[in-house]
Amino acid sequence: MAEVIVIGAGPAGSSAALFLAKAGKETLVLDSNASMTKRAWIENHYGAKDISGPDLLTIGREQAQKFGAKFIEEKVTVVDTNGGSKVTVKTESGRSYEAAHVILATGALTELANTIGLNLVEGREPRIKTVIETDGFGRTSKPRVWAAGTVAGVSVHTIITAGDGAKVAIELISELNGERYVDHDVLKN
């Protein structure tokens, strides 16, 4: 059983996975390979002069894998919170995975959130009709289910969704650790 399953490997999901894995949390990322970032050309991402969406996704995945995050290409069809004791995730192929928590980072897609019974609200971004209601830290209306990125109502810009994925991961890590988590690396001479 993983500590955290992240559903979606776009900027929000991979950023969350990076922070979780670097913090030593067993992290599994399930991704349907449908990220809208695959079609992007990005010239407004701080720290990158310009980058293709596919390159950004590859680099983000490699960063998370460096710290032990595991990525599996699977479309998630069911998320069961088991009354709040754990989360069971089932995929289109019939596989089943368990975790203590799950983070939904499904971009513009809310179908899965709807089937879980999460509270949805009107989206603010053009073409994003509904988003998952969160408490501002990523917690949703169901125990052990978190949301990050566009599906949680933040702007579709990759730098913002990546930052939101990191924020939600830090909140979750802090909750798991029982104290505020901070990840600061320093230059080595």
Please check the confidence at residue 189 and state whether its pLDDT lies above 80.
Answer: no
Task: Determine the pLDDT at residue 66.
Answer: 98
Half-sphere exposure (CA, 13 Å, Cβ side) for 72? Answer: 17
Domains of the chain as residue ranges with CATH: 2-177 (3.50.50.60)
Q: What mean pLDDT, rounded, does the chain reach?
A: 94
**Average pLDDT of the segment spanning 157-180:** 97
Cβ neighbours of 137 (radius 10 Å): 13
Output the six-digit token pair for 36.
Answer: 């809208």
pLDDT in tens, 22-78: 999 999 999 998 888 878 888 888 888 899 889 999 999 999 999 999 999 999 999
Please check the confidence at residue 122 and state whether its pLDDT lies above 90.
Answer: yes
Higher pLDDT, 187 or 138: 138
**Average pLDDT of the segment spanning 88-116:** 96
Task: Determine the pLDDT at residue 84.
Answer: 84
Which of 1, 11, 9, 86 is CA-nearest to residue 46?
Answer: 11
**Do the Cβ atoms of 14 and 103 come closer than 8 Å?**
no
Which ranges constitute the DSSP H helices of the chain?
Answer: 11-22, 53-66, 111-116, 158-177
Q: For residues 46 and 105, what is the distance between their CA atoms, to the nearest angstrom?
A: 21
Q: For residues 40 and 152, what is the distance between their CA atoms, to the nearest angstrom?
A: 20
